[in-house]
Amino acid sequence: MVEHNIVVVNKSGLHARPASNLVKAASKFKAKISIIKAEKTYDVKSILGILSAGISCGTEIDLVCDGEDEVQALQSLSELIESGLGE
């Protein structure tokens, strides 16, 4: 299991569009991918999971990947979040 601490930078947080970009990207990996915010865990492959986490701009999250391609998943998804999720 690998993890990385990230501050969400895109202006409107993880709302519908950026969140859906993240779900799409996460679904490409086999590993189980979760976001931990305020000690609660949310499934990154579920748009509802991400949206119900209520992540706004400036929120600090832990991205956790667990599974065979966890290292690639962590690197690729961290970069995506840090670059503002295409927003």
Partner 1 sequence: MKNGIPASKGYAIGEVLLQIQDQVIISDELVTDIEAEKNKFVAAVKLSKNQLEKIKVDTEQSIGVDEAAIFEAHIMLLEDPELMTSILSEIEVNRKNAIKATTLVTDKFITIFDAMEDEYLRERATDLKDVAGRLMGNLAGNRNEILIHKDNTVVVAHDLTPSDTAQLDRSKVVAFLTDVGGKTSHTAIMARIMGIPAVVGMRDITTVLKNGDKVIVDGITGSVIINPNETVLSEYYKKRKDYNEEIEGLKKLRSTETTTKSGKRIYVAGNIGRPEDIDQVMENGGDGVGLFRTEFLYMDRKEAPSEQEQYESYRYVLEHSEGKKVVIRTLDIGGDKQLPYLNLPVEMNPFLGYRAIRFCLDQKDIFKVQLRALLRASVHGELSVMFPMISGLEEFLSAKSLVRECELELEAEGISYSDHIEWGIMVEIPSAAICADLLARHVDFFSIGTNDLIQYTLAVDRMSEKVSYIYDPMHPAVLSLIKMTIDAAHKYGKWVGMCGEMAGDETAIPILVEYGLDEFSMNASSILPAKRLIINCE
The residues that touch partner 1, with contacts defined as CB under 8 A, are 7, 9, 11-13, 15-17, 19-20, 23-24, 43, 45-49, 51-52, 54, 56-58
15 a catalytic residue: yes
The rounded distance, in Å, linking the Cα atoms of 47 and 16 is: 8
Residue 24 Cβ vs partner 1, minimum distance, rounded to whole Å: 8
Catalytic pick from 15, 36, 59, 66?
Answer: 15
How far apart are CB 82 and partner 1 at their closest, in Å?
Answer: 8
Write the DSSP string, 14-68. S-HHHHHHHHHHHHTSSSEEEEEETTEEEETT-HHHHHHT---TT-EEEEEEEST
Q: List the catalytic residues.
A: 15
